Structure 1
Amino acid sequence: MPSIRMHKKYDSLEPILTITNLTKKFGYLTAVKDLSFTINRGNVYGILGPNGSGKSTTLGIVLNVVNKTAGNFHWFDGNISTHDALKKVGAIIERPNFYPYMSAAQNLKLVCKIKGVDYQKINEKLEIVGLLDRKDSKFRTYSLGMKQRLAIASALLNDPEILILDEPTNGLDPQGIHQIREIIKKIAEKGTTILLASHLLDEVEKVCSHVVVLRKGVKLYAGRVDEMISSHGFFELKSTNETKLIAQLENHKSFSKIISKNNLITAFLNEPMKSEDLNEFLFKQDIILTHLVQRKESLEEQFLKLTDNS
């Protein structure tokens, strides 16, 4: 009878990976500079930054394939060697490397032998990535997206506590990107912690609960995605009496900044407010709005603010 793996409700503050003042230099180039952050259990983390920001170098260090210059990192509670900790980690940091003339199932059997995993896991993991019906097809017949999904299945064979993915959707078409993102969400829902590196803001916003923003190896932000975009947003407004409207907004405690440009007034909130409440308030001040739109700042807008100010 197959064993049933129970997923306990994890304490989200239980650390899986702790990075402290990590630095990596390649000659005169500092790829990672004094980097510190913690990955806690049960979340989906994105390391976000343009190419050359130090994402892959950071992953390489914690996976023991790149030597650090300074600083430290430790897995779990720190009482386990990196070698033993990595047995609980699944990672894809390079393009999948399978035998082209062998089927998906045959390739995964080899991985099972190397990892000491029961062959029973093969079908279970192929089903998660949507490849069970193509398990007997040769790897060379797979599309790029299918190859990437097979790599994820391979990384999941040992039931890792954390799955690490470096640019998992790179080079894929829109359908392939969507499939990988849905698989990541599905794996996370089962309790596996995920750490992915990406240069795509859209990817982090759609998939991740937490984000670490890097630029030139320096951390610009680390925290929850929803807190990064937790500004209360802003209103775009137009009125026939613009001067009176600006005066009312500037004297209102709910607004932090008012910008007037090309007859459009943008009023940034420092606390929550509904558009109907603003409309009612202004109407009572004899101000009639001809345009009222409420918007939230996107992760992209926040990211551009961070990188512009650094």
Structure 2
Amino acid sequence: MSTRGRERAEVGLREAFVARIPEDSAALLEQAGLDEMLAERVADAQAQWPGVSVHPEAFVAYVADRVAPGIDLEGLAGLAWNDLYLACACATGSEPAIIACERAYFGNLDAALASLDKSGALTDEVKQQVRERLFVAAPGELPKIADFTGRGGLGRWLRVVATRTALNARRRTRREAPLPQSPLPDLGGDVELEHLKSKYQDEFKQAFAEAFETLEPKQKTLLKLHVIDNLTIDQLGSLHNVHRTSAARWLREARQTLAKRTKNVLTQKLKVKPEELESIMRLIRSRIDLSVRVLAGGGEPE
């Protein structure tokens, strides 16, 4: 391609991308190197998946729809562009792309599913359900794979989807005890905390729900998998292909962030003395897991 042709192609990519990015990402447009980075990422993705075809401008527009607000050039460059390219093609129903996705990633799902289903009885069924969820969409909607945003690898994201699908299938085979309606259940005779529970029940429920929604998608998914689906630290580590210490740290940070943000919401809503606020924090920390189970049970992976 001539220099002029390459420049025209870069301008086309930039225009397609800029037309779709969030409004508060305008600073990204002022950073040098955006045009070249887009062209390089498209070329790399095409080289990674030579049998998969996506129009370059359609691809960068697809990525723009999924970038986080306020992203900078470094963050944009760090997305899993090659995986996003494959996901973009799969979302259009491209058969070569779907075949490439299964060949590249579905074999790795067996290890993740084996930790949940020792007999292997559910593995084939779950993988078929995953195929249907990922690649088949209702009229007017996009398939599940379009939810992949590139913040992390596609393989890890698929393991989470498969794990949630397996857990849902396993859950259907047994009767679960009903969940309590209150995110603040019996507190075991602690008179002070029982008083706070009674006094601030509604405020806590609202604050916790608001705080939970502000968590990063990975944090919400970790809490759901651990609290709702009873995955151990080792299973979480295996699922995300990291050492158990990393999984434990992620989970601890998710709990701490949730408690802190719940406290912040309550502080804004309530007029309480410092000592009472500290007691409220004890209440929050003591009931994080059960509150997640009550308020976020049954959610989809994010």
**Structure showing greater Rg:** 1
Give the alignment's TM-score, normalised by structure 1: 0.27
More strand as a share of residues? 1
Give the alignment's TM-score, normalised by structure 2: 0.27
